[in-house]
A and B are shown apart, each in its own frame.
Chain A
């Protein structure tokens, strides 16, 4: 057993790290319930900013855009990504390495560069800016994550199950829906939640691809911060943080429970 001295150091250090990580979030959530418009103390509990939020059309429209895009993104990215993950996990072919390496650029190249290049290309080819362009970008960003998550789940149960189904006479489609999908389900769910979160929280790409008047929630928050702060931002930000973290918890829960063979 560990000597007590180490125990205390460990607790203290990890505690400090956690405080550092959660301090700003806690402060922000606290201020969301504070009646002062300028984050001044003393703290007076008030839900006024949430009420104002409910009537802030711009923020609400932006929120809706974010949710809708995130949902469509989740479906599309999960579908495309699952197919690709299947190809990687169940077949070996020349060029597989290359294709897998091509998944790196979207996540390793700074989003600034990806965003600006999308802006340039979409503008040039007439695709233009807008929610459709934003969706185009979000799916591209989500794909690598989906492929990795689904791929990991696929790797956990090898091709024998599908092969067994084939030897029993199941056509490829039957094998896929009767065997692969049920076992893959937790991974697919995790991946789609992931994709949703990636899109919902995405700022940089959305920023470049949002035309004036149309935006997603993060972009709206950014413009608010730059132009002049309204405390409703605090309220909506608190909600977002809780939603994001809640989504992650869902992913983890789901993934683990479904993970056992």
Chain B
């Protein structure tokens, strides 16, 4: 069938360039790293490397890696929870209590920082969080001696930086799903006797779950894998999986270990994805 063959050719020609590129830049590298994770040493400069599980075993036996992984997960949970807590009311207000021009303008204002340069944003926090910087500097002398504000290079600083980075994202996804809740549904609930709070709890909240779950998913994963914010804002206190992996590649030159740790992190990410996806799909299917 010439016509059918022509069609197949068209489809292949359109998709091939992009996907070959993705294969070379993403999928093949991931496979290569998987291979590397089973090597005993970085195969460079004539060094002999043999197959081994040691790198993975090390993760499970050396407590430092466990510790780091746990810290990363904790960070993920803390940041995600904070983001949700702050974002939900904001999204709710934007979606339901602000009208017209204001809504668009405010929405844009909220999203804008998200698309600015992440590194620069993180860097800007270093100035704010220092005890002797332009924000806390003037305030600290006014505070009692035991309560000085200087949280740079501490865990809270990392949390603040990450929450700041992902808050717009959370507001965005929750806003989208709240927006989709037809006002008529609320009105119907009210007409059937529900109070404002009941209408919210029984109609709005359940229907906004997909947005919340999307936010969880979109925040938790990158936070686990972050190394820039922990490094810049946490300094020595940045004992997490991300910085450790980066260290293996840049400083310690132990690529096999770094690869193994990366894949363990990937596994954690995939487990989270797998856990979230059926719930996500079910909710998305229900509201689609």
Q: Which residues of A contact B (CB under 8 A)?
A: 2, 6-7, 10, 13-14, 17-18, 20-25, 27-28, 30-31, 34, 38-41, 43, 79-81, 83-84, 86-88, 91, 93, 99, 102-103, 105-106, 108-114, 116-122, 124-125, 136-137, 139-140, 143, 147, 172, 197, 200-201, 203-204, 207-208, 218, 221-222, 225-226, 233, 237, 240-241, 244-245, 247-249, 252
B106: chain A residues within 8 A (beta carbon): 14, 18
Considering the chains assembled together, what is the distance between the CA atoms of A25 and B124 in angstroms? 6
Contact in complex: A80, B94 (CB < 8 Å): no
Q: Tell me the bound Cα distance from A41 to B255 in angstroms.
A: 45
| Interface residues of A, dominant DSSP | helix
Contacts A108-B273, A109-B269, A120-B255 hold; do A91 and B7 have CB atoms under 8 A apart? Answer: yes
Chain B hits for A112, CB < 8 A: 225-227, 242, 245-246, 262, 265
Q: Is the CB of A110 within 8 A of B118?
A: no
Q: Is the CB of B97 within 8 A of A113?
A: no
Cβ of A79: which chain B residues have Cβ within 8 Å of it? 17
In-complex Cβ contact of B134 among A13, A30, A113, A120 (8 A): A30
Binds A, one of B27-35, B59-67, B179-187, B204-212: B27-35
Give, as a whole number of angstroms, the nearest-CB distance from B284 to chain A. 15
For the complex, would chain B's binding face be called helix, strand, loop or mixed by DSSP majority? helix
State whether A20 touches B137 (Cβ < 8 A).
Answer: no
Instruction: Choose from A6, A41, A117 the contact partner of B29 (Cβ within 8 Å).
Output: A117
Q: How far is the CA of A2 from the CA of B18 in the complex (A)?
A: 50
Please name all residues of chain A whose beta carbon is closer than 8 Å to the beta carbon of B134 when the two chains form the complex: 27, 30-31, 34, 39-41, 43
The distance in angstroms between the C-alpha atoms of A155 and B40, with both chains bound, is: 50
Find out whether the CB atom of B25 lies under 8 angstroms from the CB atom of A139: yes
Partner of A197, one of B115, B164, B222, B269: B115
Name the contact of A83 in the complex, choosing from B17, B28, B259, B269 (C-beta under 8 A): B17
Q: Which residues of B contact A248 (CB under 8 A)?
A: 111-112, 115-116
Q: Which residue of A lies closest to B255 (CB)?
A: A120
In Å, the complex CA distance between A99 and B36 comes to 26
Could you list some 26 contacts between A and B, CB below 8 A? A13-B89, A13-B90, A17-B110, A21-B168, A25-B121, A27-B127, A38-B132, A43-B134, A84-B19, A87-B10, A88-B15, A91-B10, A102-B19, A109-B221, A110-B269, A111-B225, A113-B266, A114-B26, A116-B249, A120-B255, A121-B29, A122-B29, A143-B22, A201-B116, A203-B118, A207-B228
If the complex has contacts A14-B106, A87-B14, A197-B115, are A116 and B21 also in contact, measured as CB distance less than 8 A?
no
Chain A contacts for B117, CB-based, 8 A: 200-201, 203, 218, 237, 240-241, 244
Q: Assess whether B29 is in contact with A120, with CB atoms less than 8 Å apart.
A: yes
Q: Mark B37-80, 1 if CB is under 8 A from A, else 0.
A: 00000010000000000000000000000000000000000000
Contact of B262 among A6, A113, A204, A207 (CB under 8 A): A113
Indicate if B215 sits at the interface (CB-CB under 8 A). Answer: no
Chain B contacts of A116 at CB under 8 A?
Answer: 33, 245-246, 249, 258-259, 262
Q: With A and B bound together, what is the CA distance between A250 and B11 in angstroms? A: 32
B271 on interface, CB distance cutoff 8 Å: no
In the assembled complex, which residues on chain B have CB atoms less than 8 Å from the CB atom of A197?
115
B165 to chain A, nearest CB (A): 10
Are B127 and A237 neighbours in the complex by a CB distance under 8 Å? no
Smallest beta-carbon distance B8→chain A, Å: 8
Q: How far is the CA of A125 from the CA of B11 in the complex (A)?
A: 30
Cβ A27 vs Cβ B86 within 8 A: no
**Distance, CA A88 to CA B15, complexed state (A):** 8
Given A80-B17, A112-B242, A121-B29: A39 and B262 interface contact (C-beta under 8 Å): no
Q: How far is the CB of A132 from chain B (nearest CB, A)?
A: 12
B24 within 8 A of A: yes
Chain B residues closer than 8 Å to A86, beta-carbon distance: 14
Assess whether B259 is in contact with A121, with CB atoms less than 8 Å apart: no
Which residues of B100-131 are within 8 A (CB) of A?
106, 108-113, 115-121, 123-128, 130
Check B93 for interface membership: any CB of A closer than 8 A: yes
Query: With A and B bound together, what is the CA distance between A31 and B132 in angstroms?
Result: 13
How far does the Cβ of A174 sit from chain B's closest Cβ, in whole Å? 15
